[in-house]
Amino acid sequence: MQTTFTPEQLQDPDTRESNGILRTCVHCGFCTATCPTFVLLGDELDSPRGRIYLIKDMLEGGKPATEEVVRHVDRCLSCLSCMTTCPSGVNYMHLVDHARHYIKNTYVRPWPERTLRALLARVLPYPARFRAALLGARLGRPFARLVPGASLNAERLRAMFRLAPGALPPPSPLQAPQVHKAAGTRRGRVALLTGCAQQVLAPSINEATIRLLTRMGIEVVVTRDQGCCGALNHHMGDQERAMALARANIGAWSHEAESEGLDAVVINTSGCGTTVKDYGFMFREEPGPWRDRAEQVAALAKDISEVLVQFGYSPSRPAPDLTVAYHSACSLQHGQKVTAAPKQLLATAGFRVKEPAEGHLCCGSAGTYNILQPVIAAQLRDRKLGNIERTGAALIAAGNIGCLTQLAGATLPVAHTVELLDWMAGGPAPPAVEQARQGARHGARGAA
Ligand code: SF4
Ligand code: SF4
């Protein structure tokens, strides 16, 4: 694709980067077939190729973003399915991240949406605020269906109430800063990203991770001063806040790597993993020490499934006679290209593993997407659940809290992959297992 940026525009590092990306696109359109929004809406402007043209015109023109561009970029899930399909290696992720930052700086959204986005950016990354907000949303849940109107903002409000869980688990003491010693001879040492939303919604995921790793002889450090990875803000175009959050993590983990040594930074929320693995790119224009530290942390970042394969996971219980539908989170399969490891691990643990049709399509969670674009998100969720149910599995396993929240509450129970692996290696059974067994007893679903 030809571009017409001026030499002055190319002085800006982000524009320079986007120019290089745009020039790799050959307009072939292969990406459209695997783009969830194009599949649903059938509009070229809601396909990757269409968005690439819109972004190109916006950046080259150097003018404020228009309502049309914002509408179509906002509908993008950042699922990165297009990057898996693209034969030319177009880095759509960096392009759309730049577009979102550009939109944030040049487009004034209607005030209700500005308020909602500001609220999400200031609440979700901070566990104490998020917990307080969820407790408030719980009180409002019974009134969700009384929210009047069919506007997008009314849908957003209803979606927020709907997504708030009915009950919240208490905070887990295991997630506080500390060192969890390896059982027996130490074979490795890792830092764990305990996350933001996940540690409030499902602390059992971090608990299972810590139990499983320490049982395998791996010391797990929860460092002081770490927090949200920055992904939620990054995907809303709030680059400054995302960088500040990322900087805190980089400081904490690089200090740990240099003092006591680390084999990996373990991440069990794949949406966060994609961002942490990209810290090197995010800090590419920073002064030397920060750039180097960001690259070091990005190189250490590993999904929990990669670490378990590396250290040789093995179960200690007999096979559970359960069929699991493995839902491959977009951030894991498209963002990090981790596809085989979680399925292999579940099979090693003794589960029968099924993969739903259209596994490349997003479930509609996508960070804050299911709040900001609730109608498309709900359509994707229903489509995903239909495909999962047709596998005949008794429960759903996934490696990302966003997907688990999006798919929960339907006909099948959900569990994080690591909770199932921990159970089969001696940990407690996650509640989803008993629910799955009950479902199997009543409907012969997922049983042998
Ligand atoms: S598949 Fe790649 S090269 Fe082809 S239109 Fe899509 S982004 Fe461009
Ligand atoms: S990231 Fe996903 S939704 Fe966005 S253009 Fe690519 S395939 Fe479509």
pLDDT in tens, 296-323: 999 999 999 999 999 999 999 999 999 9
* C-alpha–C-alpha distance, residues 249 and 284, integer Å: 16
Rounded (10°) angle between helices 417-424 and 203-215: 40
Where are the chain's structural domains?
Answer: 9-106, 111-163, 173-308, 314-443
Q: What is the DSSP letter of 10?
A: G
* C-alpha–C-alpha distance, residues 3 and 6, integer Å: 9
Closest Cα to atom 7 of ligand 2: 35
In whole angstroms, how large is the CA radius of gyration of the chain? 22
Q: What global pTM score does this model have?
A: 0.93
- Residues having CB closer than 6 A to ligand 2 are 35-37, 48, 51, 76-82, 92
Closest Cα to atom 4 of ligand 2: 76
* C-alpha–C-alpha distance, residues 394 and 322, integer Å: 7
Q: Which of 23, 107, 119 is nearest to 65 (CA)?
A: 107
CB atoms within 10 A of CB 237: 22
Q: Give me the pLDDT at residue 143, please.
A: 67
Closest Cα to atom 2 of ligand 2: 79
Which H or E element spans position 423?
Answer: helix 417-424
Q: Is the CB of residue 338 less than 8 Å from the CB of residue 245?
A: no
Separation of 31 CA from ligand 2 center, angstroms?
A: 8
CATH number of 314-443: 3.40.50
Q: Which of 2, 23, 26 to mutate to test the pocket of ligand 1 (most atoms within 8 A of CB)?
A: 26
Q: Give me the pLDDT at residue 199, please.
A: 92
* C-alpha–C-alpha distance, residues 136 and 154, integer Å: 18
Closest Cα to atom 1 of ligand 1: 86
* C-alpha–C-alpha distance, residues 412 and 409, integer Å: 8
Separation of 380 CA from ligand 2 center, angstroms?
A: 13
* C-alpha–C-alpha distance, residues 57 and 68, integer Å: 12
CB atoms within 10 A of CB 123: 18
Give the atom of ligand 1 at the shortest distance from the alpha carbon of 26: 3
| 9-106 and 173-308 have identical folds | no
CATH superfamily of 9-106: Alpha-helical ferredoxin (1.10.1060.10)
Separation of 85 CA from ligand 1 center, angstroms?
A: 8
Q: Which of 84, 86, 93 to mutate to test the pocket of ligand 1 (most atoms within 8 A of CB)?
A: 86
DSSP H stretches of helix in 42-126? 48-61, 67-74, 81-85, 92-106, 111-123
Closest Cα to atom 8 of ligand 2: 35
Q: Is the dihedral of CA 24, 29, 30, 33 positive or negative?
A: positive
* C-alpha–C-alpha distance, residues 108 and 125, integer Å: 23
Q: Give me the pLDDT at residue 288, please.
A: 85
Give the atom of ligand 2 at the shortest distance from the alpha carbon of 31: 7
What kind of architecture, by CATH, is found in domain 173-308?
Answer: 3-Layer(aba) Sandwich (3.40)
Which H or E element spans position 301?
Answer: strand 301-303
Which H or E element spans position 22?
Answer: helix 13-24
- Residues having CB closer than 6 A to ligand 1 are 25-31, 48-49, 52, 82, 85-86, 88, 90
Q: Which of 28, 34, 18, 26 is nearest to 333 (CA)?
A: 34
pLDDT tens profile 372-396: 999 999 999 999 999 999 999 999 9
Helix (H, G, I), strand (E, B) or coil at 353: strand
Q: Is the CB of residue 76 less than 8 Å from the CB of residue 51?
A: yes
Separation of 39 CA from ligand 2 center, angstroms?
A: 10
Separation of 49 CA from ligand 1 center, angstroms?
A: 6
* C-alpha–C-alpha distance, residues 260 and 254, integer Å: 10
pLDDT truncated to tens, each residue of the chain (448 aa)? 899 999 999 999 999 999 999 999 999 999 999 999 999 999 999 999 999 999 999 999 998 999 999 999 999 999 999 999 999 999 999 999 999 999 999 999 999 899 999 999 999 999 999 998 888 877 777 666 666 677 887 888 787 777 777 788 999 999 999 999 999 999 999 999 998 989 999 999 999 999 999 999 999 999 998 999 999 999 999 999 999 999 999 999 999 999 999 999 999 999 999 999 999 999 999 888 999 999 999 999 999 999 999 999 999 999 999 999 999 999 999 999 999 999 999 999 999 999 999 999 999 998 889 899 999 999 999 999 999 999 999 999 999 999 999 999 888 999 999 999 999 999 999 999 998 988 777 764 554 3
Q: Give me the pLDDT at residue 263, please.
A: 98
Looking at the CA of 90, which ligand is closest? 1
Q: At residue 323, what are phi and psi to the nearest 5 degrees?
A: -105, 125
CB atoms within 10 A of CB 39: 18
* C-alpha–C-alpha distance, residues 124 and 144, integer Å: 20
Q: Is the dihedral of CA 52, 279, 207, 344 positive or negative?
A: positive
Closest Cα to atom 2 of ligand 1: 86
Separation of 34 CA from ligand 1 center, angstroms?
A: 11
Region for 149 from its dihedrals, namely left if φ exceeds 0, alpha if ψ lies in -120 to 50, beta otherwise: left
